[in-house]
Amino acid sequence: MQQEERQEWLGVTAPKGFWAGAAAAGIRDGKAERLDVAILYSEQPAVAAGMFTTNRVRSAAVEATEARIREQRRLQAVVVNSGNANACTGEQGTADVLAIQIQAADLFGLEPGDIGVASTGVIGVPLPMDRLSAGIEEAAKKIRDDGGRAFAEAILTTDTYTKEVVRELTVDGQTVRIGGAAKGSGMIHPNMATMLAFLTTDAEVESEALQEALRHAVDASFHCISVDGDTSTNDTVLLLANGMAGNRPLRPDHPDWDRFVEAVTEAAIHLAKAIARDGEGATRLIETRVEGASTDEEARRVAKAVIGSSLVKTAVYGADPNWGRILCAAGYAGSSFDPQNVDIYIGDIAVCRRGGAVPFDEEAARVVLRGDPVPLRVVIGEGSGKAVAWGCDLTERYIEINAHYRT
């Protein structure tokens, strides 16, 4: 397996048979200044796996797409819009999703049930269906087998850059590719999935196995990031496998299964880290590694508490090696450990040993904290459980962005 950096911009269209296109429809405010409608299309029907927000309040798009995947585990196209979440929009929201599916199905000669839908943006405002419909028509005309970058651009909201990934491996002597695109920014504290992420592969994968691969990948990636602790109403991760690589069907007893899952997981981690680094107002990525917990699950809980702590995030922003906040966050993570056995490192610099202060070079620690990413390490001394979680610093800019999001 090797990363092909030069092809990263192909994103979701890197695997065989996946096409994408986008249009500027002015979804947010009527001004068609940026791409905000995107379509992902597969030449062949694709086995589909999905994970969705656990928020009780869910976008109509989440409800519909989850239902489709549960019923048939198969999709051939996905329509995505940014600028409007289609959440808290009642029966109108549900009807609008169906209208999107019908329109896209007509354009591609498919059934409405073959179309997944995802939305992101402001909550509680009905979709501007006239503009969206025009956008879908235009995006459908523009789909290309190298349209991944346009797709990745169109799904962004307050994100500051596109998030794409391409991975490649060999299965049964065939080259298999995994592509992906995601968006994040605010309201990012994924619980089952992140805001929006789309993964594609031309591997042939059995449907149960595909869902299992996605669950594994999401647990180690989107479930390990936080920007602001707010779990969105629209979190959606989709993984589509169209089988065009020509391998024998992948499933857990296939000799290449583990490598496939690993590649999907790596792709998901790549996107999740990009989301964390591009959190609203963030200036850098915080990577917290926890070792020596009693289990991986306990380690993950601690790692997530550390990257979720407002006080840790502001300390990183201020390049302040205030390790007490790291230990404090570990302490309230709900994991049971003896604080007297905890060591903490900022980069390679030990700043806390056995739960207490040690002399260290503060200026050197500040230099690490000013870098990007910022590596933090918490060694608990209970067992062999380990985990990594990713977050970002918390800055004045987050406040500015969110104090006036709608105005």
d(CA 113, CA 76): 9
Work out how close the CB of 129 gets to a second copy at its nearest, in angstroms, rounded to a whole number: 15
Q: Is 381 in the site for a second copy (CB under 8 A)?
A: no
Q: Phi and psi at residue 90, in whole multiples of 5°?
A: 60, -150
| Residue 201 marked ligand-binding | no
**CA quadruple 402, 152, 189, 136: dihedral positive or negative?**
positive
Which amino acid appears at position 112 of this protein? P
**Which residue, 103 or 335, is less far from a second copy as judged by CB?**
335
What distance in Å separates the CA atoms of residue 405 and residue 28, rounded to the nearest whole number? 12
Instruction: Write down the least CB distance from residue 355 to a second copy, Å.
Output: 5
> Cβ distance 155 to 82 under 8 Å?
yes
Considering only 28, 58, 183, 301, the residue that binds a second copy (CB under 8 A) is 58
Judged by DSSP in three states, 376 sits in strand
Instruction: Look up residue 331 and give its two tokens.
Output: 């302490």
Could you say which of 55, 119, 236, 265 contacts a second copy (CB under 8 A)?
55
Among 9, 66, 74, 88, binds a second copy (CB under 8 A): 88
Phi/psi for 294 (5° steps) reads: -70, -30
Strand partners, 78: 40, 116
Provide the minimum distance between the beta carbon of 395 and a second copy in the complex, in angstroms, as a whole number. 6
Q: Which two tokens stand for residue 17?
A: 């048979």
Rounded (10°) CA dihedral 311, 266, 156, 243: -160
157 is in an annotated binding site: yes
Which of 98, 99, 105, 123 forms a contact with a second copy (CB under 8 A)?
Answer: 123
For 124-207, where are the E strands, in sequence order? 163-171, 174-183, 196-201
User: Contact between 339 and a second copy (CB under 8 A)?
Assistant: yes
Which parts of 349-378 interact with a second copy (CB under 8 A)?
A: 352, 354-357
Q: Which stretch binds a second copy (CB under 8 A): 227-235, 236-244, 264-272, 286-294?
A: 227-235
Q: Are 345 and 376 in contact (CB under 8 A)?
A: yes
In the bound state with a second copy, the residue whose beta carbon lies nearer, of 88 and 105, is 88
Ranges of H-type helices in 142-256 = 148-154, 207-219
403 near a second copy (CB under 8 A): yes
Q: Which is nearer to a second copy, 114 or 343 (CB)?
A: 343
For residue 81, state whether it binds a second copy (rule: CB under 8 A).
no
- Regarding 191 and contact with a second copy (CB under 8 A), the answer is yes
Least separation in angstroms between CB 302 and a second copy: 10
By beta-carbon proximity to a second copy, the closer residue of 51 and 205 is: 51
**Nearer to a second copy by C-beta: 103 or 185?**
185
Q: What is the CA radius of gyration of the chain?
A: 21
Site map for a second copy, 134-173, x if CB under 8 A? Answer: ----------------------------------------
Choices 54-62, 130-138, 245-253, 255-263 (CB under 8 A): range interacting with a second copy: 54-62
Q: How far apart are CA 335 and CA 203, in angstroms?
A: 39
Closest contact distance (angstroms) between CB of 96 and a second copy is: 13
Phi/psi for 262 (5° steps) reads -65, -40
Reported residue count of the chain is: 407
CB of 296 to a second copy, least distance (A): 18
| Residue 129 engages a second copy in binding (rule: CB under 8 A) | no
Residue 253 burial by Cβ neighbours in a 10 Å radius (0-12, 13-18, 19+) = exposed
Q: Which stretch binds a second copy (CB under 8 A): 12-20, 34-42, 217-225, 318-326?
A: 318-326
Q: Kindly tell me which residue out of 97, 187, 195, 269 binds a second copy, with binding defined by CB under 8 A.
A: 187
Cα 152 to Cα 329: distance, rounded to the nearest angstrom: 34
323 part of the interface to a second copy, by CB under 8 A: yes
Bond from prior residue into 373 cis (ω within 30 degrees of 0): yes
Rounded to whole angstroms, how far apart are CA atoms 38 and 138? 10
Residues that bind a second copy (CB under 8 A): 54-58, 85, 87-90, 122-126, 186-187, 189, 191, 228-233, 308-311, 314-315, 317-318, 320, 322-325, 327-333, 335-337, 339-340, 352, 354-357, 394-396, 398-400, 402-407
Which residues line the annotated binding site for substrate? Answer: 157, 183, 194, 280, 402, 407
